[in-house]
Amino acid sequence: MPDVAAPTLRLRRSHERGFADHGWTDMWATFSFASYQDPEWVHFGPLRVIVENHIQPRSGFPAHPHRDVEILTYVAAGTLTHGDSFGNQFGVSSGGMQLISAGAAGMVHSEENLHDVMEHNYQMWLVPDRPGTTFAYYDKTFSPEARQGQFRLYVSPDGREDSMPINTDAFVYAGLFASGDTVSRPLAPGRGAWVQIVNGRARVAGVVLEQGDGVGITDADALDFAFEADTEILLFDVRMDAPMLWK
């Protein structure tokens, strides 16, 4: 039998990420972001930002602008309230994901924890694959029961399976798995997977990942997961050579 090439891994341990403590929030950045810059960690395909935030009660990000970026926020605990220059105000709670297409003309928004408990989220930015996009807002929440034991599709390029449509070639999933669960997912040629552990512990591609750890996987035709603790997980399936409006 011919030798099967091992997958290519980009392992990012939790403690290796960039860290900033702003008092009202702490931020852990997987890739270069704001004052944290590392030329070895800039992007994974069109996935440009992964930042883990813990926002203190009754605080948050004041109004600030964005343009030409697809912003995803997954809420792991608490509720995050979004307000924007188009007059929208929506709250997203645990198990929910928000997608904002900032559009070529841009928008201004705020992100606040209006409650008396800590809010925990992961925010991700993906670069659009074309110019001239328009502003759009979506959010989607699955109950714990709907996420248990499977990867639920939240985001896709074409809105399949009632997912939120994004302006790049990326599929984004979240799931909850029990200790002892195993699952395998295909990975098509030319695509990469970024696995991010929100809580728990899992083995994938021969590597054990714990809370806050992430890994990018390419040159694989399948992803085999074995969960060694109750685990909450994000999975990004992206086209590695997707056109990027900016880098």
Distance (Å, rounded) from C-alpha 210 to C-alpha 16? 13
Q: Is residue 180 classed exposed, middle or buried when 0-12, 13-18 and 19+ CB atoms within 10 A define those classes?
A: exposed
Ramachandran assignment for 219, one of left (phi > 0), alpha (psi -120 to 50 degrees), beta (any other): left
Was 111 annotated as part of a binding site? yes
Distance (Å, rounded) from C-alpha 185 to C-alpha 180? 17
Query: Tell me, what DSSP letter sits at residue 142?
Result: -
Was 109 annotated as part of a binding site? yes
Length of the chain: 247
The CA-atom distances, in angstroms, between 50 and each of 3, 16, 18, 245 are 35, 13, 11, 18
51 beta partners: 29, 123
Was 120 annotated as part of a binding site? no
Distance (Å, rounded) from C-alpha 73 to C-alpha 34? 17
In the chain, which ranges are continuous DSSP H helix? 144-147
Query: Tell me, what DSSP letter sits at residue 7?
Result: P
Residues 65, 106: contact at Cβ < 8 Å?
Answer: yes
How do strand 207-210 and strand 150-156 relate by DSSP bridges? unpaired
Was 115 annotated as part of a binding site? no
Binding site for Fe cation: what residues are annotated? 64, 66, 109, 111
Binding site: what residues are annotated? 64, 66, 109, 111
